[in-house]
Amino acid sequence: MASSNWSAPLADDLGPTGAAAAPLVLIVEDNRDNLSLMMDYLSNKGFAVRAAHNGYQALELIPLLRPAAVLMDIQMPGIDGLEVTRRLRAMPDLARLPIIAVTALAMSGDRERCLAAGASAYVSKPVSFASWPSC
């Protein structure tokens, strides 16, 4: 990873202030540039957005924040997104949480591995926001 001294807060709330009804999306992503792109896009779409920079932060924040949906990077140092997804699914309260796996691997079998780990859906990087449903 390029920047070893990244000192962003644990969870950036870039959502519109005062928009209490904005659904919260939590993005789990270790790459600063990817995270920035996704946070900008989703906050411009009116979502409240928070970030976890690795799997451990994700496992701390998701049960606390109860986001409406999670974008889960798969390739991360420490525990990867597949393992984070498995651990979240083992929490009864989070069995139905929408988890969208995001991976750069795009290899045959990735989709199946993500879904088998408990992901609700799968997209491959680079994420093409043009193909996302408008909301």
* In the complex, least distance from residue 62 CB atom to Mn ion, rounded to whole angstroms: 17
Binding test (CB under 5 A) with Mn ion, winner from 27, 38, 73, 85: 73
Binding test (CB under 5 A) with Mn ion, winner from 25, 27, 30, 102: 30
In this structure, what token pair is assigned to residue 52? 């976890």
A 10 A CB-CB count for 59 gives 17
* In the complex, least distance from residue 46 CB atom to Mn ion, rounded to whole angstroms: 26
Binding flag, residue 124, Mn ion (CB under 5 A): no
Binding test (CB under 5 A) with Mn ion, winner from 36, 54, 75, 120: 75
What are the backbone dihedrals phi and psi of residue 45, each rounded to the nearest 5 degrees, phi first? -80, 0
Calculate the alpha carbon distances from 105 to 59, 74, 76, 82, 91 in Å. 23, 9, 12, 13, 27
> How many residues bind to Mn ion according to rule CB under 5 A?
4
The nearer residue to Mn ion, 27 or 69, going by C-beta atoms, is 27
Cα–Cα distance, 74 to 71 (Å, whole number): 10
A 10 A CB-CB count for 23 gives 15
The nearer residue to Mn ion, 58 or 73, going by C-beta atoms, is 73
* Residues found near Mn ion in the complex (CB under 5 A): 30, 73, 75-76
